[in-house]
Amino acid sequence: MNLYRRRNLSGLVFVLPVVVFFLIFRYYPILRAAELSFQDWNLIMPPEDVGWENYQWILENERVQRIMLNTIEFVAWYAGPNLIIGLGLALIFVQPFRGRGFYRTLYFVPIVLSEALIAVVWRLLFNQRGLVNAMLDPFTTGPVPWLTNGDYAQLAVIIVAVWRTFGYYMLIFIAGLNQIPRDYYDAAKVDGANSTQLFWGITFPLLRPTTVFVLVTTVITATQSFSTQYVLTRGSPNDATNVLGLLVWQEGFASRNLGRAAALSMTLFVVLLVLSAIQLIALRSRRTDTEVTIEA
Amino acid sequence: MYYTPTKTTAPEREPQRTTKTSQPLDGQRIARTILKHALLLIGGLIVCVPLIWMLSAAIKPPAEILTIPVEWVPSQPRWENFSEALATAPFVRYFFNSVWVSSATTFMNLLLCSLAGYGFARYQFPFRNALFLFVLGTFMIPFQVLVVPLWTMMRELGLLNTTWALILPGIASAFGVFLMRQFISQLPEELMDAARIDGASEFGIWWRIVIPLSASPLIALAIFIFLESWGSLLWPLTVITKEEYRTLALGLTEFQSAYGTQYHLLMAASTLLFVPAILAFFALQRYFVEGATITGING
C-alpha cells in the first residue's frame, strides 16, 4: 500500500514541470493582464489606476467597434469557406482515383509555409499590376484596387488566409470520413438509398464531431488572427482590414497604451471563452445524437 | 491483345462492374469524372501558380515583375537577385536563429508534454483531475492576452533581444499534454507491470517503454510545434528589436517593411525561405499528413 502510494506520487513529479510552467507563463500573466486592464500605462510613467475607463473606451470608441465588426466578418468568411471547401474536397478524396495522392499532397503545401512568407508573396500578387489583376485583365475594365479599396482589401485578406489552410481542413475531413463504417453505406444502398440520401442520412450526422472540430478550430484561429493582416495590409486602408488580434498589438506596442491593449485582450479572451463554452455544449449534444443514430 | 490481361486483374474487375451498375448512367458518370478532375486541376493551379510566379519573379530583372500580361519566363535570368538579397539582410543568420529557436522549443515540448501526459494517464495522485483541467484551461488563452504581461516579464528578467525570450514562453503546450495523455492511456498496463517486475524505476518505464511506443504522437506533436514556432511573428516582433536575433518570419517581414518596393529582392528572399520549407515537406510528407490527421482526430 505504501509502495503503491509512493509510486503514484511519482506521477505528481512527472506533471509538476508542466504545471509550474503554466502557472508562471500562462496564469500569472493573465492576472497581470487583468490588473493592467484597469490601469493607464505608457511604459514611461508608472502605471496608474483608472477603473473601468479602458473598457468604457472599448464600448464607446467607434474605431474599436468597426474593428470588432471586421473581426466577425473575417472569422465568418474564414470559417465558412474552409469548412465548405475542405468538406467538398474530402468527399472527392475518400474514393480512390488516379492522382489522388498527388493532389492531396499538393493542396497541403501552403500550410507548411509561414503566414509571413505567404503574405509577402500575395501582397505582390495583389499589386495593381500583379498576377491577380493580370489574370483578371481580360474580364475587367480596369485594374482592381485590391489592397487600396476597403472591401477588396478585406476580400484579399480572406483569400490569402483560406488559401493557406483549406488543405489542412480537407485532411481532417478525410480522416473523419474514413472513420465512418462502410457497412452503414452498404446497408443503406441495399435499402435503395441514393447518394443525396446517403450524404444527409449517414455522412453528415456521423461526421458531426469532425465538423464541430473544424468549425471551432477555424473560429478560434481566425479570432486571434494577426500575421496575415500585419504583413499584408497592417489593417489598411483606413482600418478596413484591421482585426482585434492586430489592434491589441498596435495599441500596446505602436501607440504604447498598454492598459488599453490589456483591456482589449481581456475582451478577446472573454469572447473566446464564450465560443469555447458553445463548443462544449455542441460536443455534448453531439454525443447523444450519435448514440441515437446508431441505435435507430 | 484481347487475351493479354493476367488472371489477377480479371477477377478484380468483376466486382467493380457489379457495384458500378447500381450507379447512374455511364454518360453521367463520365461527365462527373471530368468535372471532378477539372475541379481538382483548378484547385491545383490555384495552389501552384502563386508559388511558380514567386519563383519566376525571384530571377527576373525588376522591370519584368509587374507586367500585364505576365511574362512567365524572364528575358534573361537575373541570379544576382539572391546574392543581393543576402547582402541586404543576413538571411542565413535568421535561418540559424529560426532553426535554434524552433528546435529547442520542439525538444522541450516533446520532453515536458510526454512526461506530463504519462503522469496524467498512468498515476492516481491527489488533485490529478484538477491539475489536468488546470493544464487544459490554458488551451483557450489567446496569445494576445499574454503578449503584454509576458513582454514585461521578459523585460524584468533582462531577456529582451535574446533567443531565450523566444523559446521560454513556449516550452510546453496544453495541446501536447492532451495528445500525449490520450495516446499513453491506451498503452497496455501489462507492459509497465512487466518492466516493474524487472526492476525498472517509474522514470525508467517512461524512458524505456512509453517513449519508444509513442513515436507517432511524438512526431505529430513535433511537426505541429515546429511549424507553429517557425512561423510565429507576433511574439518575435514584440521582444526582438535587434537584427541579429531575428527569426526568418520576422526577418522577412522587416525586410518587406524596409525594401517593400525592391520586388526582385523581396521575391528572391521569399524563395530562399520557400526552398528549405518545401524540401523538408517533401522529405517528411508522410509524417506531415499523418501528423495533421492525428492532431485533428484527437482535438
pLDDT at A279: 73
pLDDT at A1: 54
Q: How would you label B145-170 residue by residue, b for 16+ Cβ within 10 Å and e otherwise?
A: bbbbbbbbbbeeeebbebbbbbbbbb
Query: Residue B101: CB partners within 8 Å, gap ≥ 6?
Result: B163, B166, B167, B229, B247
- 3-state class of A49 per DSSP? strand
pLDDT at B123: 93
- Interface confidence, given as ipTM, is 0.88
CB A178 within 8 A of CB A137: no
In the structure grid, which three cell numbers stand for residue B213, read together?
511506443
B32 touching A (Cβ < 8 Å): no
pLDDT at A288: 47
Domain ranges of chain B: 9-80, 89-259
pTM equals: 0.88
Task: Kindly state the average pLDDT of the residues B240-252.
Answer: 95
Instruction: Determine if residue A234 is left, alpha or beta; phi over 0 gives left, psi from -120 to 50 gives alpha, anything else beta.
Output: left
pLDDT at A290: 45
CB B40 within 8 A of CB A88: no
Q: Which residues of A touch B149 (CB under 8 A)?
A: 28-30, 32-33, 36, 262
Domain ranges of chain A: 60-295
DSSP H or E segment with residue B128: helix B128-136
Question: Does B235 have pLDDT greater than 90?
Answer: yes
pLDDT at A154: 96
- From the candidates A41, A121, A272, which should be mutated to test the interface with B, based on the most B CB atoms within 10 A? A121
B57 touching A (Cβ < 8 Å): yes
**Successive 10-residue mean pLDDT values, chain A, 296 residues:** 76 95 96 94 87 93 94 95 95 88 91 94 93 90 91 96 95 90 88 87 89 88 94 93 95 92 94 82 60 37
Query: Which of residues 172 through 211 in chain B touch A, CB cutoff 8 A?
Result: 172, 174, 177, 202-203, 206
In the structure grid, which three cell numbers stand for residue A241, read together?
482590414
- Radius of gyration for chain A, computed over Cα atoms and rounded to the nearest angstrom: 24
Report the gap between the CA of B46 and the closest CA in chain A (Å). Answer: 8
In the structure grid, which three cell numbers stand for residue A32, read together?
497581470
- 3-state class of A76 per DSSP? helix
Q: Which residues of B touch A103 (CB under 8 A)?
A: 40, 43-44
Query: Which of residues 70 through 89 in chain A touch B, CB cutoff 8 A?
Result: 89
Topology of the domain comprising B89-259: MetI-like fold (1.10.3720)
pLDDT confidence of B19, banded at 50, 70, 90? very low
Q: Which residues of B touch A220 (CB under 8 A)?
A: 140
Say which DSSP state B168 is in.
G
For A224, which of B49, B144, B270 is closest by C-beta distance?
B144
pLDDT tens-digit readout, B48-91: 999 999 999 999 999 889 988 888 888 889 999 999 999 999 99
Chain B residue closest to A130 (CA)?
B66
CA proximity to A25, closest of B231, B105, B220: B105
- C-alpha B77 chain-centroid distance: 32
Chain A residue closest to B271 (CA)?
A117
What is the separation, in whole angstroms, between the first and last Cα of chain B? Answer: 53
pLDDT tens-digit readout, B283-297: 888 887 777 777 666
Pairing between strand A48-49 and A39-40?
Answer: antiparallel
Question: Does B20 have pLDDT greater than 50?
Answer: no
Residue type, B119: G
CB B263 within 8 A of CB A142: no
**Does residue A237 have a cis bond before it (omega within 30 degrees)?**
yes
- Radius of gyration for chain B, computed over Cα atoms and rounded to the nearest angstrom: 26
Question: Does B106 have pLDDT greater than 80?
Answer: yes
Q: Can you name the residues that pair with A39 across neighbouring β-strands? A: A49
Topology of the domain comprising A60-295: MetI-like fold (1.10.3720)
CB B85 within 8 A of CB B265: yes
